[in-house]
Amino acid sequence: MLRVSDLTKTYKTGDKALKGVNFTIPAGQVVGLIGPSGSGKSTLIRCINRLVEPSSGKVYLGDLDVTAMPRGRLRTARRRIGMIFQEYALVERLTVMENVLSGRLGYVPFWRSFLRRYPPAYVSNAFALLDRVGLIDHADKRADALSGGQRQRVGIARALEQDPELLLIDEPTASLDPRTSRQIMRLILEICRERQLPAIINIHDVLLAQAFVERIIGLRAGEIVFDGPPDALDTDALTRIYGEEDWAAMRKQADDDASDDAESAAQAREAASRLARIA
Ligand SMILES: Nc1ncnc2c1ncn2[C@@H]1O[C@H](COP(=O)(O)OP(=O)(O)OP(=O)(O)O)[C@@H](O)[C@H]1O
């Protein structure tokens, strides 16, 4: 479980990026974090793993007070938090397997990681994860030989290899086509359910978020202005989050996506009709 309490962040420039943010995410729940550019989404995610130091407030991961950890012990806290990135952040010249095993860097002594010697239990776990994300036949391939969707699957397996208690996921589909985006979202949701992992997905695509996640948090100017199920995200809520927005363009995008992918057509059409109802 993740609990964020009265979190604020004011940068040295005076920008108030977070103004007292409160929420709790129970085990297994995936939250879509939406909001316009500059609303504080990245700052929130970075404050949770303390890549950015919060100005005040608390972050609890289970019983662990992440905000109270001395800087020297952050490595221990961070290995409990898996990160998945928009641009995958793989080491291109290493194999898929080596990339997945790098998820264990926080657990092994430096010499082992330098020599890339990992305990057999970590290796068998990595094989099981590659099987789970559908890449078992690609374990020996170099990362730079993979498609975008396959790379993101490696990123997911790497995050899981570190046996996290929380996933922080930053724009996981921004570099992918609509069909692959839906496959990746589906995979993330399934895995979080299976492992009872709480997760936050920073996501620009409102329709994609609505189609998959069970809860959406909307940020505007550093404050939570919406927190609820996707169906409650009506015109009022969207206006509160984004101000006036070009709903027609978003709806057209949803229609295009629906015709693009027969398998996911029903889901995308559902998203389009939901938008039509609120537009
Ligand atoms: N390193 C920094 N120094 C000063 N101000 C910053 C810094 N990083 C972010 N900000 C400011 O904090 C606010 C929130 O930025 P943040 O990047 O968290 O928003 P975001 O919602 O993630 O935006 P985007 O969707 O464009 O990535 C903005 O006003 C931004 O200019």
| Residues 12-52 pLDDT 10s | 999 999 999 999 999 999 999 999 999 999 999 999 999 99
In a domain, 15, yes or no: no
Which ligand 1 atom is the nearest neighbour of the CA of 42? 22
Which amino acid is located at 157 in the chain? A
pLDDT value for 279: 47
In a domain, 180, yes or no: no
- Atom 26 of ligand 1, residue of closest alpha carbon: 37
pTM for the whole thing?
0.86
Which ligand 1 atom is the nearest neighbour of the CA of 52? 1
In a domain, 32, yes or no: no
Which ligand 1 atom is the nearest neighbour of the CA of 46? 18
Tally of domains within the chain: 1
pLDDT value for 244: 72
Q: Which residue has the tokens 């009506």?
A: 234
| Residues 135-163 pLDDT 10s | 899 989 999 999 999 999 999 999 999 99
Ligand 1 site-directed mutation target among 12, 34, 42, most atoms within 8 Å of CB? 42
Cβ proximity of 18 and 9 under 8 Å = yes
* pLDDT-above-90 percentage for the chain: 61
| Domain, as residue range, for 153 | 90-163
In a domain, 270, yes or no: no
Ligand 1 mean position, distance from CA 41 (Å): 8
Ligand 1 mean position, distance from CA 142 (Å): 34
- pLDDT of residue 59 exceeding 90: yes
Looking from the CA of 189 toward its CB, the CA atoms found within 13 Å total 16
Ligand 1 mean position, distance from CA 177 (Å): 26
Q: In what helix (H) or strand (E) does residue 77 lie, and over which residues does it extend?
A: helix 74-78
In a domain, 35, yes or no: no
| Residues 178-237 pLDDT 10s | 999 999 999 999 999 999 999 999 998 999 999 999 999 999 999 999 999 999 998 889
Q: Which residue has the higher pLDDT, 274 or 279?
A: 274
Q: Which of 26, 38, 33, 22 is nearest to 1 (CA)?
A: 26
> Residues near ligand 1 with C-beta < 6 Å?
11, 13, 15, 17, 35, 37-43
In a domain, 47, yes or no: no
In a domain, 139, yes or no: yes
Which ligand 1 atom is the nearest neighbour of the CA of 40? 18
- pLDDT of residue 247 exceeding 70: no
pLDDT value for 253: 66
- Atom 7 of ligand 1, residue of closest alpha carbon: 11
pLDDT value for 261: 54
- Atom 25 of ligand 1, residue of closest alpha carbon: 37
Which ligand 1 atom is the nearest neighbour of the CA of 13? 4
pLDDT value for 85: 86
In a domain, 118, yes or no: yes
Ligand 1 mean position, distance from CA 222 (Å): 10
- Atom 2 of ligand 1, residue of closest alpha carbon: 11
Backbone φ and ψ of 7, nearest 5°: -75, 130
User: What mean pLDDT is reported for the chain?
Assistant: 86
Nearest-angstrom CA–CA distance, 55 and 66: 14
Ligand 1 site-directed mutation target among 7, 19, 43, 219, most atoms within 8 Å of CB? 43
